[in-house]
Structure 1
């Protein structure tokens, strides 16, 4: 739901800005609100469901997300849109982390691996389908319809949960610690240097990624004249590049050190940002430069993000749930902070976006090479087999 709720209306950013009487930064703040809510929802939803159970909270969260999606669809102003997007993100993040907890509750061993791979496959398809579906909606109707589609999907999920999802966490397996226990475990994982380093790797890469997501519609449509359909096709192709790169990285796991794969991705992202900056400063951001740089950047994310997250989890094996929740929160908060900064230059310059991509890639490299620097060769290569 996260990529669908975002990518379906990304092609319509220029129209959203016009309809709600705001600028590029105002529209990008709706992304900030959504991702901030998503991060907080994931951070809170898991520990609370550990204490009170899964099914009831999952039903409530999907119902709230559905109502918030309707609020986005009918929002008369950018302020109301931001509030509705925050609530949509918070409920969606809450549902996301509880849904994954249900999977872990019900499946073990090889079955768990198969189910998690299916979830990952859906996660790779959604960023491809989302913008294309959004473009079709724009061609046939209005950008608000995309949020009605999300609302209908939210309602379908709520009904599916009510019919098919059992309570997967019996009372005897629940714990009373809730958020207090989570905070204590959070302090422990954040005290682990390698985990913090990989947290920086993944979070900074996410920041670079969403500098692209927030600004690419203005660069390709407003500055280079692409239609919403053409833009959506390019967006989907870039998402496919990211998915393919992640698949290649998965095949290389165990044969090539995971840190090396991440470093190659970081170099590619840094090169994409530098090319964009040169193109924006001296050549008015030619279309071919933007298309190539965007594809390289997105493909690089497939090498950095999943592997950085995997090494972060490997660094704190005693607290996998807490490590995952903190990682998700940091990534989504990074995704939320970047869009309004990327839009500071307005809708007719790519310079802020390029600077953010370069900065994100550089900070990600610091996380890998400095903060998460391994003590020895054996320690460096060991986690690669688990990715």
Structure 2
């Protein structure tokens, strides 16, 4: 780890490094690590619980520690890279992620896995936020928007590929192999950064404000009521989303007998629904008010949650009902999360980095907090998960219709139609 901090960096001249295809591809690779590290592992939850003598809630806590790490990594990684540059902290994060993934693969107990997953999430979030910062360093205006859309669009394939790859691994090998695969991907990312990513923030452009300056800016963005409303929209939607992620393997496999491969295909189909909904929402931007698109997603998510709750409480969550409601729920997230984040950022144009960091922090904390709560009922009931889905949809509506009500500030109206 320490040796990576002394990796030679190409000399910085007055000329800005080029935003090459290799650099953009590497950033896409960095943004894919979180969904891959989670979704490759989710199909194995029942097997992990059995082999490590752990309860469903304990296994889901490995999701919680990962998501808490992701939140802290994004919150801290940006300010630190503003001080120390992008390349060396990124290399150090990837090296540590490799070590944490190997520990997960070798773990003798669920407790060791929880700690290793925390480190894995911390370094993954750190790498993700630095990757986005590199793009912002090297692109402006319309080009920046295009590149970020490419990163988001191509990166959206990871939640589809992840569970399928995890299921294939379970069919031919052991669940621990999925963590060896993440370790191998981390090494590949480290090599890609060494080859394709220059230092994008030369010393004259760095600042010493660090976390203290971030805290001051954070207080300012949180004083904006509409920003907080959209924060609640996205945070609550993420909570409902990860209630599904944490419990769907038990609902579909343990309760309904679905095979790991069939579960992974279903998971991938739901992720595809969410991706398609997000692309449709992007096409509607400027034509349909963004708030209306979000509200449609909220109503759909609430309906799916209510039907799930009725099915779990009175009918034992039959397979067709669970599959249909999960698809509607996931597709609805594609209308809510990205649009809510866009409107939140538009509310604080004077602090774009801080607004983005706080948004990411809240989303991942919500994901990590909800995961173990969703499993409180054990492996044979979906009632806690359904209650969380309903609660998440209701809170998201409160954020949109109560906290974020009123006119849009003139500075943001042209950017993001509401």
The TM-score range, normalised by the shorter chain, is over 0.9
Alignment of 1:243-254 (within 5 A): 243-254=275-286
1:234 maps onto 2:236 in alignment? no
* Deviation by residue 1:242-287 (Cα, 9 ceiling, x = unmatched): 0000011000000110000000000000000000000011111110
Structure 2 residue 149 is matched with structure 1 residue 109: no
Alignment check: 8 A CA contact 1:246 1:303 kept: yes
1:119 matched to which residue of 2?
Answer: 151
Q: Which residue of 1 aligns with 2:34?
A: 2
Conserved? CA contact 2:346–2:416, under 8 Å:
no
Q: Which residue is equivalent to 2:255?
A: 223
Q: Contact 2:95/2:187 (CA < 8 Å) preserved in 1? A: yes
Task: Let me know the Cα RMSD of the aligned residues.
Answer: 1.4
**Contact residue 256 and residue 384 of structure 1 kept, 8 A:** no
- SS of equivalent residue, structure 1 residue 384: coil
CA–CA separation in structure 1 for the residues paired with 2:332 and 2:413: 21
Return the alpha-carbon distance in structure 1 between the equivalents of residues 414 and 110 of structure 2: 49
Q: Does 1:266 align with 2:298?
A: yes
In the other structure, the counterpart of 2:112 is 80
Which shifted more, 120-129 or 337-346? 120-129
Partner of 2:11: none
Contact 1:243 1:302 in 2 (8 A): yes
Distance 1:104 1:381, change over 3 A: closer
Q: For structure 1, list consecutive stretches of 5 or more residues without a partner in the other structure.
A: none
1:290 aligned onto 2:322: yes
Q: TM-score when scaled to structure 2? A: 0.90
Q: Tell me how many residue pairs correspond in the alignment.
A: 386
1:368 aligns with 2:400: yes
- Partners in 1 of 2:268 and 2:124 — Cα distance? 23
Q: Which residue of 1 aligns with 2:338?
A: 306
Residues 259 and 380 of structure 1 are in contact (CA less than 8 Å); yes or no, is this contact kept in structure 2?
no
| Superposed CA offset, 1:157-211 (max 9, x none) | 1111112211100111111100111000000000011100000000000000000
**Given that residues 258 and 381 in structure 1 are in contact (C-alpha distance below 8 angstroms), is that contact kept between their aligned partners in structure 2?**
no
- Residues 115 and 216 (structure 1), Cα distance of their counterparts in 2 relative to 1, 3 Å cut: same
Instruction: Give the alignment partner of residue 16 of structure 1, picking from 48, 52, 57.
Output: 48
Residue of structure 2 in register with 1:355 after alignment? 387
Out of 159, 184, 187, the residue aligned to residue 219 of structure 2 is 187
Whole-Å separation in 2 of the counterparts to 1:223 and 1:68: 32
**1:341 CA drift (Å):** 0.3
Alpha-carbon distance, 1:382 to partner: 4.9
Choose which of 64, 68, 73 in structure 1 pairs with 2:100. Answer: 68
Among 242, 245, 253, which residue is 1:210 paired with?
242
Pair 376,331 (structure 1): closer, same or farther in 2 beyond 3 Å: closer
Aligned partners of 2:96 and 2:144: how far apart in 1? Answer: 28
CA–CA distance in structure 1, aligned partners of residues 85 and 412 of structure 2:
38
